[in-house]
Chains A and B, each alone.
Chain A
Amino acid sequence: MSERLDVKKTYKLIINGAFPRSESGRSYPVATAGGDFLANVAQGSRKDVRDAVVAARAAQAKWWGASAYLRGQVLYRWAEMAESRRSELADHVGLAEGLKKKDAQLSVARAIDRIVWYAGWTDKVTQVLGGANPVAGPFFNFSLPVPSGVIGVVAHQESSLEGFVESVAAPICVGNAVVALASEHRPSPAVILTEMTATSDFPGGVLNVVTGVTAELAGHLVAHEDVDGVDLTGAGESSDDLARRAAGSIKRVYRPRPHDEENPLRRLRTFVETSTVWHTIGQ
């Protein structure tokens, strides 16, 4: 009997709930932290980014239209899916980031717990970030947080899974749709995790992931006028330039600051707008 050939996985883009190869037809190899070949990954182009934004825009209304409870359930189910594939995620996080097995497992556990944490926030954001305002008249006046819309994420370059979760789960939790550029050299954990959205009852297009060369894609993502906010966590030295380009169409911009961990709601706050509603006081 002949020896069985391994079935090698090519990591593809995730756009609109589908798994296309890049429009450009390109792919690139990514290596482990030790420099060995890990996998071939689709190398997205600016047109893939454009398609992803179209998909996100279409999905956002449906996602925000779902009740806060349902959004929480869906996010929690995403965590359930990730839980049953912990070992695969840990393998990839370990290889990509060069972590010991135990540390990789801990990192995956923290990432999953973070999804659960954000799942809990879906129906609490309104109470915490919104409120009833005192007004001089027989009216109620409410401030309600509503999602900004489509959020572009340049995900953390080193923290392949935890950083990714932090950047995408926060805007999704408050009702945005996301187009994320995964870590350029460590994309596989983010792709594996996002594949699980297909079995978590997310409407297609709520989370789109494009892999590829960050420097090539980020400019097109942040300058896209149909993107309402950007998270520049993984932008590195180009962060200033990208923030300027984002300002061209007046976007919300999130950039990491020191001691962010003490203010875990900053991302949630960044990607909501405040809608003010007046209502007469009844009898």
Chain B
Amino acid sequence: MAPLRTIEARDRGVLVPARISVPTFADGGELRRFVYALGGVDAVGVQGRVATLGTRSLKRATKTAAIDLAISMVDLTTLEGADTPGRVSSLCAKAMRPDPRDPSVPSAAAVCVYPDLVAHARHVLGDSSVAVASVATAFPSGRASLDVKLLDVRDALAAGADEIDMVIDRGAFLAGRWSQVFDEIAAVKATCGAVHLKVILETGELVTYDNVKRASWLAMLAGADFIKTSTGKVGVNATLPVALVMLEAARDFAEQTGRLVGVKVAGGVRTTKDALKYLVVVNETTGATWMTSQYFRFGASSLLNDLLMQRLTQRTGAYVRPDEFSGD
């Protein structure tokens, strides 16, 4: 039996093997049997759990700390057809100094843009701590051949992306071609090398929690550094129950393999209240190790302003005007 390490004292009993060993599979059948053997998700239990965690009250000191933590976890995102270099510039400026009047506000974790704007974002961010994340692999639908997807990834990498957000082929996953999904993720990870790979499951299209759990495991087994809920481009985006299922998958995966995989929730998180609920769920599911931008992220645009407004409200005691902070 390999020795176990507790990854941090405050963690809630998450015991992780000291040596990383991720299982490999000889063929698709073996992969399928492994994933099926993980079992399903108790949907009612998951919903009940997040409903309970969502009502937890946070005292002021905790809330203040959590708001700063949430700001540091934001991937400030603009993924519009109408994106311009100017818009990306202001987004980068905002990511580096979210509140220009207050240097104590932490930077955001990253800016997330389309591949063609990566070079520009890289240039504007310079040597700041803010990373450039790029969506790739025929975002948001993922409907292109593997060659095209890999070219998309190489393009973003060549332009200087620090992180790649890929989408899985939901059509293949739902049709049961899991090994195809697995192989694609593995191929993208091989192309990325040391660059962080986030795998977007698009949980709004996966229909069931069981599927979310399976897709999470597929992605982690194939080499994902992060699993991400959504593109933000479909009707159903990140929800608390889905985040819980994914966090439980990340926790179980860590306990089984020794490798820590991050979780990113994207789309639909707009208010500080929502963000704090997610942080409670993270802390209660995976423990304090995941409570950093290394292992948990919010993909968002409007959330940052709400966090800044609440931060100011906590300090001044007065509610803040929404136009106190810049739009992009």
Contacts and interface: CB of A to CB of B under 8 A. Distances in A.
Interface string B293-324: 00000000000000000000000011111101
Interface of chain B: mostly helix, strand, loop or mixed: loop
A223 B321 CA distance: 11
A53 B319 contact: yes
Interface range for A: 10 to 19
A223 B324 contact: no
Contacts of A50: 319
Contacts of B319: 50, 53, 220, 223-226
B211 to A, nearest CB: 36
Contact of B320 (A57, A220, A226): A226
Contacts of A245: 318
A50 B313 CA distance: 11
Nearest to A248: B318
A249 interface: yes
Contacts of A249: 318, 321
Interface string A200-225: 00000000000000000000100111
Contact of B321 (A220, A226, A248): A226
Interface in B85-132: none
B168 to A, nearest CB: 37
Nearest to A227: B319
A225 B324 CA distance: 9
Interface in A166-224: 220, 223-224
A225 B318 CA distance: 7
Nearest to B312: A225
A11 B221 CA distance: 57
A249 B318 CA distance: 10
B64 to A, nearest CB: 17
A151 to B, nearest CB: 15
Contacts of B317: 223
Contacts of A226: 319-322
B61 to A, nearest CB: 19
Contacts of B324: 225
A198 B289 CA distance: 51
A220 B317 CA distance: 8
A223 B320 CA distance: 9
Contacts of B318: 220, 223-225, 245, 248-249
A249 B320 CA distance: 10
Nearest to A46: B319
Nearest to A50: B319
A248 B320 CA distance: 12
Nearest to B322: A226
Contacts of A225: 318-321, 324
Contacts of B320: 225-226
Interface string A241-255: 000010011000000
B307 to A, nearest CB: 16
Interface in A245-270: 245, 248-249
B133 to A, nearest CB: 31
Interface of B: 317-322, 324
23 contacts: A50-B319, A53-B319, A57-B322, A220-B318, A220-B319, A223-B317, A223-B318, A223-B319, A224-B318, A224-B319, A225-B318, A225-B319, A225-B320, A225-B321, A225-B324, A226-B319, A226-B320, A226-B321, A226-B322, A245-B318, A248-B318, A249-B318, A249-B321
List the 10 closest pairs (A to B, CB-CB), nearest first: A223-B318, A224-B319, A225-B321, A226-B321, A225-B320, A50-B319, A225-B318, A225-B319, A224-B318, A226-B319
